[in-house]
A and B are shown apart, each in its own frame.
Chain A
Amino acid sequence: MKARAAHALAKVRATMSLRRYLLLGILIPVCLFVVLDTFTLYRQALSAVNTAYDRTLLASAKSIGEHIEALGDGEVAQLRALVPYAALEPFEADNRSRMVYRISSVQGDLVDGFADLNAWRGQLPDRGPYAALVDFYDDTYRGDPVRVAVLLQPVAMNQARVMAVVQVAETLELRRTLARQILIDTLWRQAALVSLITLVVLVVVQRATRPVRQLSAELQARCDDDLTPLRAPDAPRELVPLVEATNSLMLRLQHLLDHQKRFVRDASHQLRTPLAVLKVQVQSALRGDVEARQALLEISDTVERATVLANQMLALAKVAQLVQQPPTGAVDWAVVLREVALDVSPLIAAKELDFDITTAPAWVNTHDWMLRELVRNLLHNSIRYTPDFGTLSVQLVCDDRSAVLVIRDSGPGISSELRERLFQPFSAGETRSGSGLGLAICYEIVQALGGSITLDNRETHARISGLDTTVRLPLVQNADEWNDFE
């Protein structure tokens, strides 16, 4: 459930604009704080209003207490009070609220005042600010809510000693009006504050996201083939990594596009050549320039070369596709090497090469097809360029972290001018006998597997005696665990 909520939140964040995200992220907490602050302010104001009005009530109770007399002796004396209602007028704030009072004995017997005001039955609380015997409470009078102040007034006169209870109640219209006014004032101030914050946030967010919009507009206005770097000298520091990453991506895309254009151009040229040759051969056969059997043999060779070229182009495309996928698992390079060597053994036999192979188990994390294609291309190359009765030696050894395949042939080696563009399609060596893609495929595979490939001439007595092809691939560190898992 929690994961689902988190996923939904992440989805909302992903689809929300940065501006809206910033606005909501700032304004929602501010609004929540303002609501809480308004509530707190209102409660504090109400408490202050109540305290102030309670003091007025107490003052009126004390004023009434001064009009109480005691008649008789001792504690059985009778209370008497003559309080004109005008005595309360100084304490009435306006004509919206009414004040009533009640004077009674401690036992609750009415002495003076309004009999329908409920008699006080409570206990005197321990109130710090009021040293006198005073209490305040909420009650109702004739169905209306009232605030009541109670004063226990000791009355001593002649021999009489008695305690009077003075209650003064006030209806709440004035308090409510004042509280409502305080609430409205507070709300206005908070609304103005929220409006100001919203305005500031809007302006700041708008300005902060302007570079992003400018970059977006610049990218949208570009032509489809415009991969020049973005120029954003005024971009804020937070955007600089994004601009740099985008420019880096543009550069890689430009290289990739150039590479693809060159490949398509070269591939078209290479495919057109066997087709042109084929056309000439067919025309020659039709005219009867060569015998039918000879013509068909030549046509067969041309078709074979075109097929090899097409297959190699497909292989190169497949390598590019497999590079994007995770490897299928650990593959023993030694097994692959021996199987491919067995496949090409008829070619070795045809040239009567002096061949030898030594291998050690070497587990490599790769696709089986890629490793097979790598070895097949390397062996084909070496066999093709090794003269009849030459030597071909294949050795696979391992060190701590990598496996090393060394193929030594007795061919003519490579010239220094070829070395620079050895792994580029259709540029390495003699392409009439091969597709011109073999080393390019090998290079792509080795790069994808995190390895390296080198081709070095082997010299004997200052003369090139052959070519050493060395491929180094990283070993799987725990091949047994990998295979158990598989």
Chain B
Amino acid sequence: MVVYRLRKKLIPTGAQLMTLRGLGYLLKLPA
């Protein structure tokens, strides 16, 4: 739920939150 909300908030910035299952999350900034 927290990740879902964070992803929604990141949409305007162009950044993405990627899931690496078993490892964690990775914030991918816009180029």
Contact = CB atoms under 8 A, between A and B. Distances in A.
B14 interface: no
Contact of B22 (A348, A349, A352, A356): A356
A355 interface: yes
A338 B23 contact: yes
B25 to A, nearest CB: 10
B21 A352 contact: no
B26 A345 contact: yes
A279 B17 CA distance: 42
A177 to B, nearest CB: 108
B23 A342 contact: yes
B2 interface: no
Interface size class of B (residues with CB under 8 A): under 10
B14 to A, nearest CB: 14
B31 to A, nearest CB: 10
B24 to A, nearest CB: 8
A359 B22 contact: yes
Interface size class of A (residues with CB under 8 A): 10 to 19
Contacts, number: 29
Contacts of B28: 349
Nearest to A358: B22
Contacts of A356: 20-22
B18 interface: yes
Contacts of B26: 345-346, 348-349
A226 to B, nearest CB: 56
A132 interface: no
Nearest to A395: B22
B23 to A, nearest CB: 5
Contacts of B24: 342
Given A345-B26, A349-B26, A349-B28, A357 B18 contact: no
A30 B5 CA distance: 99
Contact of B23 (A341, A346, A352): A341
Contacts of B18: 348-349, 352
A349 B27 CA distance: 9
A276 B19 CA distance: 42
B4 to A, nearest CB: 18
Contacts of B21: 355-357
A338 B23 CA distance: 7
A345 B28 CA distance: 10
Contacts of B23: 338, 341-342, 345, 355, 357
Interface in A345-370: 345-346, 348-349, 352, 355-359
A348 to B, nearest CB: 7
A345 B23 CA distance: 9
Contacts of A352: 18
Nearest to A359: B22
A335 to B, nearest CB: 13
Nearest to A352: B18
Nearest to A345: B26
Interface in A388-447: 394
B2 to A, nearest CB: 20
Nearest to A350: B28
A358 B22 CA distance: 6
A80 to B, nearest CB: 135
A358 B23 CA distance: 9
A342 B23 CA distance: 7
Contacts of B22: 356-359, 394
Contacts of A394: 22
A450 B11 CA distance: 50
Nearest to A356: B21
A353 to B, nearest CB: 9
A235 B24 CA distance: 68
A356 B24 CA distance: 10
A297 to B, nearest CB: 15
Between B18, B23, B24, B26, the greatest number of chain A beta carbons within 10 A of the residue's beta carbon is seen for B23
A458 B21 CA distance: 22
A346 B22 CA distance: 16
B10 to A, nearest CB: 14
A348 B24 CA distance: 13
Between B18, B21, B22, B24, the greatest number of chain A beta carbons within 10 A of the residue's beta carbon is seen for B22
Given A342-B24, A349-B26, 5 more contacts: A338-B23, A341-B23, A345-B20, A348-B26, A357-B22
10 closest Cβ pairs, A-B complex: A356-B21, A357-B22, A355-B20, A349-B28, A349-B26, A349-B18, A356-B22, A345-B26, A358-B22, A357-B23
17 contacts: A338-B23, A341-B20, A342-B24, A345-B23, A345-B26, A348-B20, A348-B26, A349-B18, A349-B26, A349-B28, A352-B18, A355-B20, A355-B21, A356-B20, A357-B21, A357-B22, A358-B22
